[in-house]
Amino acid sequence: MSGLARSALACPACGTELAASLLSCPACHRLLHADALKQMAAEAEQLARTGELAGALAKWRAALELLPPESGQSRAISAKVAELSSRVDVPAPPIPSGPAPGSRAARLLAPLGVLGALLWKAKFLVVFLLGKAKLLLLGLTKGGTLLSMLLSFGVYWTAWGWKFALGLIASMYVHEMGHVAALQRLGIKASVPMFVPGFGAFVRMEQYPQSAREDARVGLAGPLWGLGAVVCAWAVHFATGVPIWAAIARSAGWLNLFNLLPVWQLDGGRGFRALSRGQRVLVALVIVALWAATGEGLLALLAIAAVVSALAGQPPAEPDRVALVEYLVVLVALSVFGMIPVHLPGHETIPGR
């Protein structure tokens, strides 16, 4: 409960004494935080106009905490959150203006237009990568994250040595920061990543996604970023030939694949809840095919869970193509990487899974 709610002791309109947890007066039905809500709405609208959709979403979600869930205002703001959230999902590309298509000027300027588009895309890629690097470094400045990370590092160091422990912790951290990045994009408040020695890491949400689509974006962001860590570890292994990087890549890949299990609150379960029945059947068939091709036992477990999920429950009627693509990309990529043989000095080649 916010400080505003705790400080409300009497209705400013009718003087009725109020419990600290109330958001509206039971006597005159006045919203107790009307002024704060107007300010939040103005700030959210301004942020949306300037393209700061994450900031606008954060303001609207904060406003929802000051409204009774059954109120008309709450329903209206929830609709606004859903609309902005869908815009975050599919950002509108810039539309350049210029000469009419087919004109002589358009033909002369076409090469410049292509060059400008390439430069714009290159700039976007640089900004994107720098933003992700900044977010990863920012997470390491949080005391709770750093302390719990060091504790887990000590446990894994004792079991497997400091090199493997460091790589494993780094891959877990990247996975969790994927969730943080998705939560920030959607304006959802959450804690920094926290590590639990022997059990992995987690991010605790202080607000919750309002739809299966939002939950899928947050859930699948972890394995997507985790896949990036796996790719980096394999790249270092191929460049240096150092076996420990292959071991780190294998372990990180297995952990991210495990998280794709479509059950409970695992990332795969959150992604699966946004899929239609037909999409779930498709994913189950792909998993079975990958299991037959790779022989990976974990894929057999994924296949069983996917079949059960496809046949049971009431999935959404509308398909979520983004969630489907994200799930399949991570699933296929991790399965393929798991087939890479590892060459260990003084040992026979360890085949892929």
Residues 179 and 81 in one domain: no
DSSP, res 24: B
Q: Give the CA-trace dihedral at 7, 9, 11, 15, to 10 degrees.
A: -150
Is pLDDT of 266 > 70? yes
Q: Does the structure show a pLDDT above 70 at 235?
A: yes
CA distance 45 to 40: 9
**Does residue 176 sit in the same domain as residue 319?**
yes
> For residue range 178-207, what is the model confidence (pLDDT) as tens digits?
999 999 999 999 888 999 988 889 999 888
The CA-atom distances, in angstroms, between 36 and each of 9, 10, 46, 218 are: 16, 16, 15, 29
Q: What is the mean pLDDT of the chain?
A: 82
Confidence of residue 109 (pLDDT cuts 50, 70, 90): very low
Answer yes or no: is 116 within a domain.
Answer: no
Instruction: Find the helix or strand (DSSP H, E) in which 122 lies.
Output: helix 104-139
Structural domain that includes position 225: 140-337
For residue 218, is it within any domain? Answer: yes
Secondary structure (3-state) at 180: helix
Whole-angstrom CA distances from 299 to 58, 151, 283, 304, 339 are: 38, 31, 12, 9, 13
Asked whether residue 197 is domain-assigned, the answer is: yes
Same domain, 271 and 149: yes
User: Is residue 273 situated within a structural domain?
Assistant: yes
The number of domains in the chain is 2
Kindly indicate the confidence band of residue 225, based on its pLDDT and cuts at 50, 70 and 90.
very high
Residues 144 and 64 in one domain: no
Cβ neighbours of residue 104 closer than 8 Å, sequence gap 6 or more:
none
Look at residue 352 in the predicted model and tell me its pLDDT.
Answer: 57
Predicted local confidence at residue 27, as pLDDT:
59
pLDDT at 300 over 60: yes
Tell whether 155 and 32 lie within a shared domain.
no
Tell me, yes or no, whether 325 and 185 share the same domain: yes
Q: What is the pTM of this model?
A: 0.80
Indicate if 43 and 179 belong to the same structural domain: no
In this structure, the answer to whether residues 157 and 52 fall within a common structural domain is no
| In a shared domain, residues 185 and 329 | yes
Do 204 and 274 belong to one domain? yes
